[in-house]
Structures are given as C-alpha cells and as structure tokens.
Structure 1
C-alpha cells in the first residue's frame, strides 16, 4: 500500500482506528467525548508509569539482590 503523503497515511490510520474501535457509528459529539476520555486515560497511565514504575523496579532489584546473595547497602558502605 503506497501512500503519497504523510497526511494520507495519518488519515488511513485514523480510519483504521475508527473501524477497530467501532466509533465510526457515533455522532460527532459522542466521538469527541470518547476520544477525550481515551486520551485522558492514556495520559494517566503514562504519568503513573513514569512516576511509580521506577520505584517498584528499584525495590524489586533490592529485594532480589538480597534474596540471591547480593551485598546490602550497609555492607557496601562499611567496605568503602
């Protein structure tokens, strides 16, 4: 499938989005509400991932390093 311009490709992607979600049957004001809620949820997921995932990854690494015999932070500071 050859696209002449970027706008044609983006229009095709938007059309695919409409077909896959089934919102092509909605009225324009219903589409805007649906898209707004979807955008809001995606923004909240991205923000939550940015804030909380690094904390959980750090805690998991600390836990598994202790379980599998890694040195704790206090032992490292005593050696320095």
Structure 2
C-alpha cells in the first residue's frame, strides 16, 4: 500500500473517533486528559480480561463437563 494512503486512513479513523466521542470541541489540555482517561479504562479492561477470563472459561468448562457426566481429572488419575 501507499504510505500516504495509510497515513490518510489513520488520520480519517482518528477524525471519526473525535467526532463520535465529541472531543473535537474540547480544548487541547481537556482533550489530552480525556484521551488519558480512555486509554486508562481500556488498559484496565484488557488487563482484567487477560487475567480473569481464562479462569472463568476453565471453571465453566469443568462445571459443564461434570454436569454432562465426564469424570473429574483427580478421579481419572486415581483409577490409573
């Protein structure tokens, strides 16, 4: 791709973000504070998803596997 076209596309995406969030009407210092808050919230959500979602998926898998009749791992290991 052409570098200018990629740059224009990224600028267009940023402009769409400014329009959707209505942050284009803010002063520069207010806009930077707004961006920092958004970045912080997104980072916290990503960290929480990275830490807690795998645990909940594993627990749900264990719950449904026990519910549908498969043996837990500890019982299988004792039988061998």
TM-score by length of 1: 0.90
List runs of 5+ in structure 2 lacking aligned partners. none
Which residue in 2 is equivalent to 1:51? 51
Report the number of matched residues: 78
Distance in 2 between residues matched to 1:44 and 1:21, nearest whole Å: 19
Higher RCO (C-alpha under 8 Å, 6+ residues apart): 2
TM-score by length of 2: 0.90
- Which runs of structure 2 are paired with 1:33-48 in the superposition (5 Å)? 33-48=33-48
Q: What RMSD, in angstroms, separates the aligned Cα atoms of the two structures? A: 1.4
- Which string of whole-angstrom CA distances, capped at 9 and with x for unpartnered residues, describes residues 35-61 of structure 1? 000000000110111111111111111
Runs of at least 4 residues off by over 2 Å = none
Q: CA deviation at 1:79?
A: 2.9
List runs of 5+ in structure 1 lacking aligned partners. none
